[in-house]
Amino acid sequence: MPKSFYHTASFLTSVARLSQLSEDVGAEVAFIGRSNSGKSSAINALTQQKGLARTSKTPGRTQLINYFKLDDDRSLVDLPGYGYAKVPAKVKQMWEQLIDDYLRSRDSLKGLVLIMDCRHPWQHFDQQILDWAGIANLPVHILLTKSDKLKFGARKAVLHEISNKIKALAGDVKVQLFSATHHEGIDELCERLDEWFAIPQKNQ
Ligand code: GDP
Inter-residue contact 180 to 44 (CB < 8 Å): yes
Residue 18: CB atoms within 10 A of its CB come to: 14
pLDDT of residue 85: 60
Stated pTM of the model:
0.94
Q: Is any ligand 1 atom within 6 A of the Cβ of residue 41?
A: yes
Give Cα separations from 149 to 119, 180, 200 (angstroms).
Answer: 8, 11, 34
Q: Is any ligand 1 atom within 6 A of the Cβ of residue 180?
A: yes
Residue 63: CB atoms within 10 A of its CB come to: 15
The helix/strand/coil state of 121 is coil
Residue 11: CB atoms within 10 A of its CB come to: 16
Q: 181 CB contacts (<8 Å, ≥6 apart)?
A: 41, 146, 148
* Averaged pLDDT in 10-residue chunks for the chain of 204 residues: 88 90 94 92 94 65 84 94 74 88 95 98 94 94 98 98 95 97 97 90 50
Q: Is any ligand 1 atom within 6 A of the Cβ of residue 84?
A: no
Q: Is any ligand 1 atom within 6 A of the Cβ of residue 148?
A: yes
Pairing type for strands 140-145 and 65-71 reads unpaired
3-state helix, strand, coil in the chain (%, to 5): 40, 25, 35
pLDDT of residue 1: 66
Q: Is any ligand 1 atom within 6 A of the Cβ of residue 75?
A: no
Nearest CA to ligand 1 atom 28: 146
Give phi and psi for 168, each to the nearest 5: -80, -10
pLDDT of residue 127: 94
Report how far ligand 1's centroid is from the alpha carbon of 42 (Å). 8
Determine the Cα–Cα distance for residues 196 and 23; give it in Å rounded to an integer.
Answer: 19
Ligand 1: atom nearest CA of 36 is: 2
